[in-house]
Amino acid sequence: MHLKRWLTGLIALPLLFFFIYRGGVLFYLLVAAGSLLGLFEYFRIVLQPPEKIVSAPTLTAAVAGLLLIWAAHIGSGQAMVAAAAANMIAGAIIVVAQVGRNPAALETVKKQFQGFLYIPLLLAFLILMRNSGDGMRWILLLLCIVFSGDTAALYVGTLIGRHKLAPAISPGKTVEGSIGGLTAGLLIGLLAKQLLLPALPWAATIIFCLAVGVVGQLGDLFESSLKRASNIKDSGSILPGHGGVLDRIDALLFAAPVAYLCKSYIF
C-alpha cells in the first residue's frame, strides 16, 4: 500500500501544482472535477437501498455544485448564495413530487443537502483563495500543511501509536499520530511560509498552521464517521494507495474555509 501511495503522489503532485500555478479556468476545472467525484463517493457512502446513487436529488447537487464553484470563480458572492438557494428549492420540489410514492425521498434530499454543503461549498473556498492576492502561494502553503500532516499522522501512528484517538469512529487513528501530524504540519508550514510568504508574522503563522492542522484532522474524522456508519473502508479506489478522492481531500475540505478566513481577516 505504501509504495502505491508514494507512486500515486509522485504522479499526481506535479499535475496538481500545474493546475494551481495556471489558476483561472484550469483551476476551476480541477476543483469542479473534485466536486463531482467527491459527491459521487459521498452518495455511495451515505445512500442505502432503495435510495439511488444517480437520481434527481444527486444530479441536482452535482449541477448546483458546479454553478456554485463557477460563481466563486467569477467572484460573485450573490451568485454563490443563489446557487445554494436554487439547490434547496429544487430539493423541496423533489420531496413534494416524490414523497407520496417514494418514502425515501425526504431522507435522500436531506443527505443531498448535507453533501452539497460538505463538498462543493467547502471546495469553493479554494477558488476564492486562489483568486485572491498571492492566492497561488497561499494554496501551496495550505497543501504543505495538510498533506504533510496527513502523511506524518499515518506513519507516526503506525510506528509508535498506542493510545486510540477516536476508536468509535476510526480505530486505527491514535493520539500519537495526531500529535505527529500537527507537529509535521507546523514544521513544514513554517518552512513553506519562509519560502512562499516570508513577510507573514511568525506568531500568526504558528497559529494558522495549528488551526489548519486541527480542522484538517476533524475533517478526516468526519469522513471516517460517514464511512463507519455505512461500514465502508474507503470512499473509492480511483487513487491507488489513497482510496477515493474524498479520502484524499477530507482534511482539505475543512481546512480550506479556515485558511481562507484567516487569510482574509487575520493576515
In angstroms, the CA 255 to CA 266 distance is 15
172/267 same-domain check: yes
- Contact between 144 and 212 under an 8 Å Cβ cutoff? The reply is no
Q: Residue 173 — φ and ψ, nearest 5°? A: -85, 140
- Contact between 173 and 251 under an 8 Å Cβ cutoff? The reply is no
Give the model confidence (pLDDT) of 250-263 as tens digits: 999 999 999 999 99
Residue 207, classed as helix, strand or coil, is: helix
Query: Which uninterrupted H or E stretch holds 174?
Result: strand 170-174
pLDDT value of position 103: 81
Give the model confidence (pLDDT) of 16-54 as tens digits: 999 999 999 999 999 999 999 999 999 999 998 878 899
224/96 same-domain check: no
144/127 same-domain check: no
69/149 same-domain check: no
The mean predicted confidence, pLDDT, of the chain is 93
DSSP assignment of 129-157 equals HHTSTTHHHHHHHHHHHHHHHHHHHHHHH
pLDDT value at 6 more than 80? no
> C-alpha distances in angstroms, 254 versus 99, 115, 178?
33, 13, 16
**Residue 13 included in any domain:** no
**Domain boundary at 79, 106, 131, which?**
131
pLDDT value of position 2: 63
pTM of the predicted model as reported, rounded to 2 decimal places: 0.94
| DSSP one-letter code for 239 | B
259/143 same-domain check: yes
Classify residue 81 as left (phi > 0), alpha (psi -120 to 50) or beta: alpha
Residue 173, classed as helix, strand or coil, is: strand
pLDDT band with cut points at 50, 70 and 90 for residue 242: low
156/224 same-domain check: yes
Which residues on adjacent β-strands are paired with residue 74? none
How many structural domains comprise the chain?
2
| DSSP one-letter code for 119 | I
Which residues on adjacent β-strands are paired with residue 164? 174
Of all residues in the chain, what percent carry a pLDDT higher than 70? Answer: 96
71/35 same-domain check: yes
141/123 same-domain check: no
**Residue 83 included in any domain:** yes
Residue span of the structural domain in which 169 resides: 134-267
Give the model confidence (pLDDT) of 49-85 as tens digits: 878 899 999 999 999 999 999 999 999 999 999 999 9
**Residue 46 included in any domain:** yes
238/198 same-domain check: yes
100/141 same-domain check: no
pLDDT value of position 180: 97
Residue 170, classed as helix, strand or coil, is: strand
Which residues on adjacent β-strands are paired with residue 166? 170
**Residue 115 included in any domain:** yes
**Domain boundary at 108, 131, 154, which?**
131
Which residues on adjacent β-strands are paired with residue 141? none
141/112 same-domain check: no
266/158 same-domain check: yes
**Domain boundary at 63, 96, 131, which?**
131
pLDDT value at 146 more than 60? yes
